[in-house]
Amino acid sequence: MSETLLAFFKAMADESRLRIIGLLAQGERSVQELARALDLKEPTVSHHLAILRGLGLLTVRAEGTTRWHVLDHAALEGLSKRVLQSATAPPPRGADVAEDKLLQGFVDRDGTLKQIPASRKKRAAVLRWLMRAFASGRRYSESEINTLLQEHHWDSATLRRELVGHNMLARKDRVYWRLPETDWKSGSAP
Amino acid sequence: MSETLLAFFKAMADESRLRIIGLLAQGERSVQELARALDLKEPTVSHHLAILRGLGLLTVRAEGTTRWHVLDHAALEGLSKRVLQSATAPPPRGADVAEDKLLQGFVDRDGTLKQIPASRKKRAAVLRWLMRAFASGRRYSESEINTLLQEHHWDSATLRRELVGHNMLARKDRVYWRLPETDWKSGSAP
DNA sequence: CGTCTAAATAGATGCCTATCGAAATGCAAG
DNA sequence: CTTGCATTTCGATAGGCATCTATTTAGACG
C-alpha cells in the first residue's frame, strides 16, 4: 500500500517520464518516436517505459518488431485517485501491526471512534492511538484538548479524563501536556 | 505550471518526507521530535521541512527557539487536486504558444471541438491540433480514424476529408496513415 | 554579557538512478 | 540460414540528492 505510494511518486518524479506520459496520452508511439521526440537514446526510453509498465500505466501492442505503447488513462486515473486519497486522508492509524487489528474493531476508516471500549486493555490501546494527536513538549488548553478529541468521539470529557488516568496526559491548573510513553504502563485506575 | 508538477512529485518521492507528512498530519511537531521519530539527525529533518515549506504545505509557529510545524491539509489537498487534474487531463492542447490562443476559441477545455472554423487558416490550425492523436508510421482503418475523431466532434467524416485535403493524412485503399509535417504546407484545397 | 538549547546553514560523503554505448534478443523477409 | 531492423539487456559513468558532522544563528535566562 505505502510502497505503491512511494513507487508512484518516484515514477512521476522524472521529467522525461512526465513528457512520455504526455505523449502517450495523445496516442500510440513507438520507442523510436519517443526517443526522437524527447532527444534521448532508445535504451533510455526503454528504461522509462519499463518503469511505467511496472505500475500498470501503459498498454503495449506488438506489431512485428515494433511495440506500440499507449497510456492507459483509466489506470492512471485510478492509481492517482487511490494515491491522493491515502495522501490526503485524515489522521491515519498507526504503523503498528499488533494493535492495528484491535483498533479496527473500534475505529472507523475515517478516524471516528465508534465506541469507547469497556475492557481496560482495549481501552488503553485506543487511548494510545488517540495520543498521536498530541505532541510532546507542547502545552494544551482544555478547549484545545476537547477540540482535538471531538474529531474522534463526541464524549471528549470522558476521553480526556481517561487519558489523564492512564498517565498519558498530565494536568496542572488548566493546562495539559503529553507525558513520556514510559509512564503509560503504570496507570492508576480512574 | 509544469514546474510545479515536477516539484510536487519530487517532493513526495521520498520516504522520509512522506513519513514527515504523516506525522505532521496528526498534529504539531518540533524538529527534534521528528528527528527522534524518524531516526534522523536534526539537520536532515530541517532540510526536508524546508522542501515541504517551499511548496506551501506546512504552517509554522515559533515558540521560543522551537518551531512547531504542522501540515496544512487544505494546501495539500488543493495542490494534489490541481496536480492530478493536469496529470490525468484528457488530450492536452499543444505546447505551442502561438496557436494556443487561436485554438481556445474553438476547442473546449475538455477537448471538444465546438465548431469547425470556416476560415482556412484557423481550420488548418485546428486540423494540426487534431493530428496529435495520430502517430507516424502507424496505419489506421477508417473506423479507427472515425472513432478517434469523434472524441472531438460528431462530424468525423468532414474532419477526415479535411485532414486528407490538407495532406496531413494519406489514404490508400481503405487504409490511412500520417504524413510528415513537412508536407502540410502544400495543401491542395479540398 | 555569557551560557544553554533549538534550529538553520555549510561542506563533505555516499547512494541512487538517468543516461549512454555496446552487445544480445526477437522478429521478418529474402 | 542469413541479413536487417526495433527493442531490450548489460555495464559503466556521471550528476543529483539524502544524510551526516561541524559550525553558525537566534532566542531564553540568569
* CATH code, B126: 1.10.10
Q: Is the distance from CB of A68 to CB of A30 less than 8 angstroms?
A: yes
Rounded Cα distance between B15 and A186, Å, is 35
Instruction: Please indicate, yes or no, whether residues A110 and A140 belong to a single structural domain of this protein.
Output: yes
**Residue A6, pLDDT score:** 92
Cell numbers at residue B37, please? 521519530
Region B37-45: mean pLDDT is 93
**Residue B188, pLDDT score:** 44
**Residue A187, pLDDT score:** 42
CA torsion angle B14 B19 B25 B29 (round to 10) = -110
**Residue B154, pLDDT score:** 73
pLDDT interval class at A188 (50, 70, 90): very low
Within-domain flag for A53: yes
Instruction: Please indicate, yes or no, whether residues A46 and A20 belong to a single structural domain of this protein.
Output: yes
Q: Which residues of chain A form beta strands (DSSP E)?
A: 58-63, 66-71, 139-141, 169-172, 175-178
Residue of B68, B84, B134 lying closest to A138 (CB–CB): B68
- Which of A20, A55, A87 finishes a domain? A87
**Three-class secondary structure assignment of B13-43:** CCHHHHHHHHHHHHCCECHHHHHHHHCCCHH
Rounded Cα distance between B150 and B179, Å, is 21
Dihedral-angle region of residue B14 (phi above 0 means left; psi in -120 to 50 means alpha; beta otherwise):
beta
Domain extent at residue B61: 2-87
Within-domain flag for A68: yes
Within-domain flag for B92: no
Tell me the residues of A at the B interface, defined by beta carbons under 8 Å apart: 2, 5-6, 9-10, 12-13, 15, 18, 21-22, 25-30, 33, 66, 68, 73, 76-77, 80-81, 84, 87-88, 90-92, 132-138, 148
pLDDT tens digits for A73-121? Answer: 888 988 888 887 776 665 544 455 556 677 777 877 656 788 888 888 8
Phi, psi angle pair for A136, to nearest 5°: -80, 145
Measured between CA atoms, the residue of chain B closest to residue A5 is: B13
Instruction: Please indicate, yes or no, whether residues A144 and A182 belong to a single structural domain of this protein.
Output: yes
Measured between CA atoms, the residue of chain B closest to residue A130 is: B26
Within-domain flag for B121: yes
- How far apart are the CA of B56 and the nearest CA of chain A, in angstroms? 15
Rounded Cα distance between B28 and A44, Å, is 43
Within-domain flag for B93: no
- Which of B87, B118, B152 finishes a domain? B87
Residue of A18, A27, A76 lying closest to B135 (CB–CB): A27
- Which of A52, A87, A122 finishes a domain? A87
Q: Which of chain A's residues have a Cβ under 8 Å away from the Cβ of B92? A: 22, 25-26
pLDDT tens digits for B84-142? Answer: 777 766 554 545 555 667 777 888 766 678 888 888 888 988 998 888 777 776 677 67
Instruction: Please indicate, yes or no, whether residues B143 and B166 belong to a single structural domain of this protein.
Output: yes
Within-domain flag for A126: yes
Instruction: Please indicate, yes or no, whether residues B157 and B114 belong to a single structural domain of this protein.
Output: yes
Mean pLDDT of chain B: 81
Within-domain flag for A29: yes
Instruction: Please indicate, yes or no, whether residues B78 and B59 belong to a single structural domain of this protein.
Output: yes
Specify the pairing of strand A175-178 against strand A139-141.
Answer: antiparallel
Rounded Cα distance between A42 and A157, Å, is 65
Q: Is the distance from CB of B38 to CB of B20 less than 8 angstroms?
A: yes
Instruction: Please indicate, yes or no, whether residues A102 and A66 belong to a single structural domain of this protein.
Output: no
CATH of the domain at A17: 1.10.10.10
Cell numbers at residue B189, please? 484545397
**Residue A181, pLDDT score:** 73
- Verdict on whether the full-model pTM lies above 0.85: no
Instruction: Please indicate, yes or no, whether residues A59 and A127 belong to a single structural domain of this protein.
Output: no
Instruction: Please indicate, yes or no, whether residues A165 and A106 belong to a single structural domain of this protein.
Output: yes
Sheet of A175-178: strands edge to edge?
A139-141, A175-178, A169-172
Q: Among A83-97, A160-174, B61-75, B162-176, whose mean pLDDT is lowest?
A: A83-97
Terminus-to-terminus CA distance in chain A, angstroms?
Answer: 39
Residues 17-76 of A with CB under 7 A from strand C: 40-41, 43-44, 47-48, 51, 62, 64-65
Query: CA–C1' span, B49 to C1, in Å?
Result: 34
Nucleotide nearest to A17 (CA to C1'): C18
Rounded Cα distance between A159 and A131, Å, is 11
Residue of A6, A13, A33 lying closest to B18 (CB–CB): A6
Instruction: Please indicate, yes or no, whether residues B115 and B48 belong to a single structural domain of this protein.
Output: no
Number of domain units in chain A: 2
Within-domain flag for A143: yes
Query: CA–C1' span, B137 to C23, in Å?
Result: 27
Instruction: Please indicate, yes or no, whether residues B144 and B71 belong to a single structural domain of this protein.
Output: no
Query: Residue B55's closest CA among A5, A87, A137?
Result: A87
Instruction: Please indicate, yes or no, whether residues A65 and A117 belong to a single structural domain of this protein.
Output: no
DSSP code of B140? E
DSSP code of A107? B
Rounded Cα distance between A122 and A130, Å, is 13
Rounded Cα distance between A10 and A51, Å, is 10
> What are the CB-based long-range contacts (under 8 Å, 24+) for B113-118?
B113/B152, B113/B153, B116/B153, B116/B155, B116/B158, B116/B159, B116/B162
pLDDT of B33 higher than 50: yes
**Residue B143, pLDDT score:** 67
